């Protein structure tokens, strides 16, 4: 070790040893891994023994019931992954080829891709600096400047001539965004509000589970989410008719009949298999322990970041976040990259935010606003290991 360390070297070394102390290991520390133990093994073995491993197994319905209890949603449709859930939510919100859908530039690519699957174009607006989720003021400003009503009541973007079909915010890193304000903005224009709550299972704001303000929301149970079914997702809603349509097209739009194969529209093979649902039931039983462990971890990180003079990402006011990923801000992109480089080299996994969607080749042509907060956050944020500290 050289006698004088650069600020980046010092921070990286200190962060590495702090994370090692949190997890009490000298081995590689991943960002977030699924905790799969005896319970999960038994659940999957049970599904195998019953022979019901495909989408018709009873575990799918049981998993959906448990998600209803947790989220308070009237209806849950489990899907093969969170991206498929988004696709189902957008199709059933009547998002069509040539439409535009408002979303945030700061998100995982699945949010934008699901819009593209409908043949629609994302409009990338800025996030709020505090919640890191879609900024209600940015949406209001965009609509006030660009939107007008056509004779048939559709909301049209005057500049592009396209219909604005929906608004799709995402709860970044599991921290619930300000959906009540966003819902007011959307209501003014009668825009369906669809929440990408993929990262926010177990997060609450204003007494509601994330995803419970919009007409419909989606969840993900991918390998690095707070609970995992391997791959999996769900659509949640209070709208019975909508839930019925989602359930129908997610199962190849097959009509109910004792033996005939009749399909009344183009459907998708998007239902969650029972094997994965079995895993989900076992994981949901452990969610309270995961949440509690992650909250304590977040407190320890926050205390340490503050002691270093670093700004941690905090839970929004009025929210109880699942703290899916803990994160802090560096002074800028150079520092961010130096710390990412050194910590990953030292076997402690850290990650920046996703490259903002408007910078990706396939989305560069899409409309976006100034994205001031998006750029600020992207340049500075580092995600740190956040797996719950509970036994497998």
Ligand X SMILES: *Cc1c(COP(=O)(O)O)cnc(C)c1O
Residue ranges in the chain assigned as alpha helix (H): 7-23, 38-50, 58-71, 82-92, 109-117, 136-146, 179-188, 240-250, 274-307, 333-345, 372-380
Q: Does 272 bind ligand X (CB under 6 A)?
A: no
In the bound complex, what is the minimum distance in angstroms from residue 219's beta carbon to ligand X?
8
Contact region for ligand X (CB under 6 A) — 24-32, 68-76, 142-150, 196-204?
196-204
In the bound complex, what is the minimum distance in angstroms from residue 205's beta carbon to ligand X?
17
Q: Does 283 bind ligand X (CB under 6 A)?
A: no
Exactly one of 198, 272, 340, 348 binds ligand X (CB under 6 A); that residue is 198
Short-list 197, 203, 171, CA closest to 89: 197
Is 220 or 330 the residue whose CB approaches ligand X more closely? 220
Q: Does 110 bind ligand X (CB under 6 A)?
A: yes
In the bound complex, what is the minimum distance in angstroms from residue 374's beta carbon to ligand X?
14
Name the residue whose CB lies closest to ligand X.
Answer: 82
Contact region for ligand X (CB under 6 A) — 61-69, 181-189, 195-203, 377-385?
195-203
Q: What residues numbered 13-42 form the site for ligand X, per CB under 6 A?
A: none
Q: What residues numbered 155-184 form the site for ligand X, per CB under 6 A?
A: 170
CB 255 within 8 A of CB 97: no
Rg of the chain (C-alpha set): 22
In the bound complex, what is the minimum distance in angstroms from residue 197's beta carbon to ligand X?
9
How many residues sit in the footprint of ligand X (CB under 6 A)? 14
Rama region for 29: left / alpha / beta (φ>0; ψ in -120 to 50; rest) = beta
Q: Does 108 bind ligand X (CB under 6 A)?
A: yes
Q: Does 358 bind ligand X (CB under 6 A)?
A: no
Is 117 or 189 the residue whose CB approaches ligand X more closely? 117
295: helix, coil or strand? helix
In the bound complex, what is the minimum distance in angstroms from residue 282's beta carbon to ligand X?
18
Exactly one of 34, 57, 82, 174 binds ligand X (CB under 6 A); that residue is 82
Exactly one of 64, 100, 121, 196 binds ligand X (CB under 6 A); that residue is 196
Contact region for ligand X (CB under 6 A) — 50-58, 106-114, 184-192, 260-268?
106-114
In the bound complex, what is the minimum distance in angstroms from residue 212's beta carbon to ligand X?
17
Q: Does 199 bind ligand X (CB under 6 A)?
A: yes
User: For the chain, what percentages of helix, strand and coil (3-state, to nearest 5) are there?
Assistant: 40, 20, 40
Contacts by residues 242-247 (CB-CB < 8 Å, ≥ 24 positions apart): 242/75, 242/92, 242/215, 242/216, 243/74, 243/75, 243/76, 243/77, 245/92, 246/77, 246/88, 246/89, 246/92, 246/216, 247/77
Exactly one of 176, 233, 352, 388 binds ligand X (CB under 6 A); that residue is 233
Distance between CA atoms of residues 14 and 384, nearest Å: 13
Q: Does 350 bind ligand X (CB under 6 A)?
A: no
In the bound complex, what is the minimum distance in angstroms from residue 222's beta carbon to ligand X?
4
Q: Does 222 bind ligand X (CB under 6 A)?
A: yes
Contact region for ligand X (CB under 6 A) — 29-37, 76-84, 239-247, 248-256?
76-84
Q: Does 381 bind ligand X (CB under 6 A)?
A: no
Q: Does 343 bind ligand X (CB under 6 A)?
A: no
Sheet of 311-312, strands arranged across? 311-312, 326-329, 381-384
Sheet of 75-79, strands arranged across? 75-79, 233-237, 216-220, 194-196
Integer angstrom CA distances of residue 156 from 64, 152, 166, 210 = 37, 11, 11, 29
- 3-state SS string over 186-226? HHHCCCCEEEECCCCCCCEECCEECCCCCCEEEEECCCCCC
Residues near ligand X (CB under 6 A): 81-83, 107-108, 110-111, 170, 196, 198-199, 220, 222, 233
């Amino acid at each position: 070790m050289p006698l004088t360390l650069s600020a980046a070297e010092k921070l990286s070394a200190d962060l590495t040893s702090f994370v090692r102390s949190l997890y009490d290991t000298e081995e590689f520390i991943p960002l977030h891994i699924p905790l799969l133990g005896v319970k999960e093994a038994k659940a999957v073995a049970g599904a195998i023994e019953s022979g019901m491993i495909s989408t018709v197994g009873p575990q799918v319905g049981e998993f959906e019931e448990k998600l209803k209890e947790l989220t308070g949603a009237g209806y849950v449709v489990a899907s093969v992954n969170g991206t498929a859930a988004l696709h189902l939510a957008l199709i059933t919100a009547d998002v069509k080829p040539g439409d535009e859908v408002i979303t945030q530039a700061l998100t995982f690519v699945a949010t934008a891709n699901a819009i593209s699957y409908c043949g629609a174009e994302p409009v990338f607006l800025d996030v709020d600096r505090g919640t890191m989720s879609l900024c209600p003021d940015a949406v209001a400003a965009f609509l006030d400047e660009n939107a007008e009503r056509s004779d048939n009541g559709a909301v049209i973007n005057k500049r592009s001539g396209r219909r604005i079909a929906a608004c799709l915010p995402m709860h970044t890193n599991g921290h619930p965004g300000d959906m009540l304000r966003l819902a007011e903005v959307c209501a003014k224009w009668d825009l369906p509000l669809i929440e990408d709550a993929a990262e926010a299972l177990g997060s609450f704001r204003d007494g509601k589970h994330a995803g419970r303000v919009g007409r419909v929301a989606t969840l993900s149970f991918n390998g690095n989410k707070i609970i995992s079914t391997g791959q999996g997702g769900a659509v949640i809603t209070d709208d019975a008719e909508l839930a019925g349509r989602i359930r129908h097209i997610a199962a190849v739009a097959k009509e109910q009949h004792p033996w005939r194969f009749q399909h009344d529209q183009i459907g998708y093979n998007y239902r969650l298999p029972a094997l994965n649902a079995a895993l989900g039931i076992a994981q949901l039983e452990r969610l309270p322990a995961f949440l509690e462990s992650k909250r304590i971890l977040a407190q320890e990180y926050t205390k340490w970041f503050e002691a270093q003079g670093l700004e941690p990402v905090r839970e929004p006011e009025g929210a109880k976040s699942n703290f899916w990923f803990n994160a802090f801000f560096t002074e800028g992109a150079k520092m961010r990259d130096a710390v990412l480089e050194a910590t990953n080299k030292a076997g402690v996994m850290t990650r920046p935010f996703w490259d903002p969607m408007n910078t990706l080749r396939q989305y560069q042509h899409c409309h976006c606003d100034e994205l001031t907060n998006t750029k600020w956050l992207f340049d500075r944020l580092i995600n740190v290991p956040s797996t719950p500290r509970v036994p497998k």
